[in-house]
Amino acid sequence: MESIYNYTLEKLENYFLDHQEKKFKATQIFDWLYRKKVHSFEEMTNLKKDLIEKLKKEFSITSL
Structural domains of the chain in order of their starting residue, each with its CATH number: 2-60 (1.10.150.530)
Report pLDDT digits (tens) over 47-64: 999 999 999 999 999 865
Contact call for residues 57 and 40 (beta carbons, < 8 A): no
What pLDDT, on the 0 to 100 scale, is given for residue 63? 64
User: At a CB cut-off of 8 Å and minimum separation 6, what does 59 contact?
Assistant: 1, 2, 3, 4, 41
What's the CA gap between 39 and 32, in Å, rounded?
9
Measuring CA to CA, which residue among 61, 56, 1 is closest to residue 36? 61
pLDDT in tens, 19-47: 999 999 999 999 999 999 999 999 999 99
